[in-house]
């Protein structure tokens, strides 16, 4: 094949992808493009929305501009209600109402937690839990290209803004690390990784390299573990055919190379991270022999365990109960449930959440649906074993909703060109 034929093929591929996205976004004859936009922007475009705040703060007061992303999302939700509602069930609304009542009942049973319940009331009930409804209507086969495009754009904008322009990835007062930013980028990084593992393409591959560097520069280990765990799970349980074994060999050889040259790579990484204002925390931990350090998490859990064991009722301390004693969540989702609701009821709730997750995987019909299940596993659930609180984790509720949708086999309408 000569260079002319190659150029024609590349041009055709780019045009084909453009037409696919155009079909999704502008299928106005079926009145669904707002629904696609909603699902995409709130799952893989929220960081881009947040970038509008500094822009609008130049025109209007910062206090008002800070609400701009939420205003866009909720206006979009209102517009898409006619399309969203038929794809939900009455039980979904009832579950939300039940959770609302459960949350408000905490004021009655645990009045000592009222300050924290008040502080996070609107955030949990109106900004996080509703993502369950988004998960219920996700049809990955029709949204995959749009999700990927937004993920790449997110990594690109972040890289330009923080590495090439500001040269300050960490963005912390003490310059140590930025766990919040790392976890906010993790969904985009993992979705891009999924695309690269399926089929090698230069733009997603470059975005993968950029996202890996950004995660390293944030200086926290949890997101990196989630990313590498995702790679292993996809290669073992989702990928098929010759490319799967090629990818396994490549990543296996890369792992061996990294292991044999780890010290030299860490020295080079330290230099590069310093040059862009990134955190060298991971490098420091490596040379100090503290890569397995729990960063104080075990101390938090020991305090909570002793308090729970000393409670004769074993009923727990309610939502946000740990805040009263250690000033933060437990950093382990299991202990968040146990300390909040006791060993027995907490374990029962864990089982209740696990049932749709397991059934959701079982009901995935093809590699796309199963692959996205693993994407959400590593962005919505696995991080909760290292950090973050499940009531603050949008992708946790997206994961639950998506599993429910696979059990029901809910699909979005077929997109036809206008």
State yes or no: pLDDT of 372 exceeds 80.
Answer: yes
- Give the pLDDT mean for 340-352: 93
Read off the pLDDT of each residue in 171-177 and give the average, rounded to a whole number: 50
CA distance 80 to 39: 10
| Tokens linked to 415 | 């997109």
For the record, the structure tokens of 386 come out as 């290292």
**pLDDT score at 34:** 64
**pLDDT at 243 (0 to 100):** 67
What mean pLDDT, rounded, does the chain reach?
80
Asked if 33 and 26 touch (Cβ cutoff 8 Å), the reply is yes
What are the residue ranges of helices labelled H in 57-139?
A: 62-65, 68-84, 90-109, 114-119, 121-122, 131-137
Contacts of 106 (CB under 8 A, 6+ apart): 113, 117, 318, 319, 320
Would you state the pLDDT for residue 96? 93
CA atoms of 275 and 298, how far apart (whole Å): 33
Q: How far apart are CA 266 and CA 269, in angstroms?
A: 5
Residue 333 banded pLDDT, cuts 50, 70, 90: very high
| Burial class for 379, CB neighbours closer than 10 Å (0-12, 13-18, 19+) | buried
What pLDDT is recorded for position 390?
94
Question: Is the pLDDT confidence value at 92 over 70?
Answer: yes
- The mean per-residue pLDDT over the stretch 28-52 comes to 70
CA separation, residue 137 to residues 25, 66, 126, 247 (Å): 16, 28, 18, 32
* In the chain, where the domains are located: 13-87+130-293+342-408
Q: Using CA atoms, how far apart are residues 218 and 227, in angstroms rounded to an integer?
A: 14
The span from the CA of 223 to the CA of 216, in Å, is 9
Tell me: the pLDDT tens digits for 323-332? 999 989 998 9
Q: Which residue has the tokens 């938090």?
A: 300
Q: 113: which 2 tokens?
A: 């937690």
Residue 127 has pLDDT above 70, yes or no: yes
416 pLDDT above the threshold of 60: no
Tokens 């645990």 found at = 110
Task: Supply the pLDDT for residue 317.
Answer: 93
């Amino acid at each position: 094949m000569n260079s002319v034929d190659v150029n024609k093929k590349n041009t055709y591929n780019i045009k084909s992808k453009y037409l696919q996205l155009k079909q999704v976004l502008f299928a106005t004859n079926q009145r669904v493009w707002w629904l696609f936009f909603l699902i995409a922007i709130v799952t893989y475009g929220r960081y881009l929305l947040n970038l509008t705040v500094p822009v609008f703060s130049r025109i209007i007061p910062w206090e008002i501009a800070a609400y701009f992303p939420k205003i866009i999302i909720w206006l979009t939700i209102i517009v898409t209600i006619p399309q969203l509602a038929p794809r939900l069930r009455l039980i979904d609304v009832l579950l939300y109402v039940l959770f609302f009542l459960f949350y408000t009942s905490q004021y009655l049973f645990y009045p000592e937690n009222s300050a924290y319940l008040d502080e996070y009331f609107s955030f949990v009930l109106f900004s996080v839990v509703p993502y369950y409804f988004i998960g219920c209507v996700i049809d990955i086969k029709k949204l995959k290209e749009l999700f990927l495009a937004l993920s790449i754009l997110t990594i690109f904008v972040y890289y330009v803004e923080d590495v090439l322009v500001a040269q300050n990835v960490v963005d912390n007062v003490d310059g140590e690390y930025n766990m919040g930013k790392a976890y906010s980028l993790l969904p985009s990084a993992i979705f891009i990784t999924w695309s690269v593992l399926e089929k090698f393409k230069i733009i997603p591959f470059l975005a993968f390299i950029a996202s890996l560097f950004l995660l390293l520069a944030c200086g926290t280990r949890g997101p990196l573990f989630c990313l590498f765990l995702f790679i292993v799970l996809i290669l073992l349980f989702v990928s098929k055919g010759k490319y799967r074994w090629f990818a396994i060999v490549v990543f296996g050889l890369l792992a061996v190379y990294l292991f044999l040259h780890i010290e030299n790579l860490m020295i080079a990484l330290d230099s590069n991270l310093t040059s862009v204002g990134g955190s060298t925390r991971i490098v420091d931990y490596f040379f100090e022999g503290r890569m397995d350090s729990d960063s104080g998490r075990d101390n938090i859990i020991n305090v909570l365990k002793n308090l729970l064991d000393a409670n004769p009722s074993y009923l727990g301390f309610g939502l946000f109960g740990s805040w009263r004693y250690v000033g933060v969540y437990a950093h382990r989702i299991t202990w968040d449930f146990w300390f909040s609701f006791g060993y027995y009821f907490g374990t029962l709730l864990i089982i209740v959440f696990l049932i749709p997750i397991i059934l959701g995987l079982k009901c995935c019909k093809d590699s796309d649906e199963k692959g996205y299940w693993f994407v959400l596993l590593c962005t919505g659930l696995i991080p909760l074993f290292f950090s973050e609180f499940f009531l603050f984790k949008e992708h946790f509720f997206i994961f639950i909703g998506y599993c429910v949708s696979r059990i029901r086999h809910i699909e979005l309408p077929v997109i036809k060109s206008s």
